[in-house]
Amino acid sequence: MAKSTATRTAGIVAASGALLAASVAPANAFAVAEVSAPAQSAPALASYSWTPEATQTVNYVENTSNVSVQATEVAPVAEASTPVSNAREAVLAAAHDGIGGAYVWGGKSYKAWDCSGFVSYVYAQAGISLTPYTYTMATELTPTSNPQPGDIVFTNGYAHVGIYVGDGKMISALNPSQGTQLTAVDGGGFMPVDGYYTANI
């Protein structure tokens, strides 16, 4: 009985590791037709007045047999003390509104998007058009060494993108199992930061 349980547990762990590895594949790694998700209407967004709350971040822990995910609580993010432009307010409000949205490969619709579709959608709420493809999007922006909340951060060899919200955090559409979340910009060390970019908002 113990041997059977150990064999079954090892099989479950191996399958979980394979599933997680597949779920963090870059959004642009596969050419797929846009997936149609249930239509949702985006709510009218008020000016940016987000109040920080206790949040969760994702830590990726790698060992020799599989990759596991651990969620840990982090302290509330301090609100920016400097005034932001109306465009930045719109970007930040839309980004925070997107938390909890579904991750859909090739998706560009409200709460049914992949990482670049999410960023493109968020910027469209401020009247700025960006191509929903990470590598092309990077060419439409200006690199910055002084990122501000509302700027864009690319990670994982430019295969992942999110909205920088300050204090080392970003909002991004991670993968189908995690959806759109507020996390550390480097995903807890799992996704190296390639650079910060601005659309001069």
| 20-38: pLDDT as tens digits | 344 444 444 433 334 444 4
Q: Give the neighbor-by-neighbor strand order of the sheet with 193-198.
A: 142-144, 193-198, 152-155, 160-166, 169-173, 180-184
pLDDT at 44: 53
Statement: the pTM of the whole predicted model exceeds 0.75: no
Sign of the dihedral through C-alpha 154, 159, 163, 165: negative
pLDDT at 84: 54
Place of tokens 């295969």: 159
Q: 58 — phi, psi (to 5°)?
A: -105, 125
Cα separation of 104 and 84, whole Å? 31
Spell 178-191 as b/e; 16+ CB within 10 A means b.
bbbbbbbbbbbebb
| Secondary structure element (H or E) that encloses residue 181, with its range | strand 180-184
Contact 197, 152 (CB under 8 A): yes
Q: Which two tokens stand for residue 180?
A: 């759109």
- The per-residue pLDDT for range 67-100, each reduced to its tens digit, is 333 333 333 343 444 445 799 999 999 999 999 9
Domains and CATH numbers, the chain: 2-34+52-198 (3.90.1720.10)
pLDDT reading at 140 higher than 70: yes
pLDDT at 48: 43
- pLDDT category at 188 given cuts 50, 70, 90 is confident
- HSE-CB at 187 with a 13 A cutoff on CA atoms is 24
Q: What percent of the chain has pLDDT over 70?
A: 58
Average pLDDT, the chain: 73
Q: What is the mean pLDDT of residues 134-139?
A: 96
- pLDDT category at 42 given cuts 50, 70, 90 is low
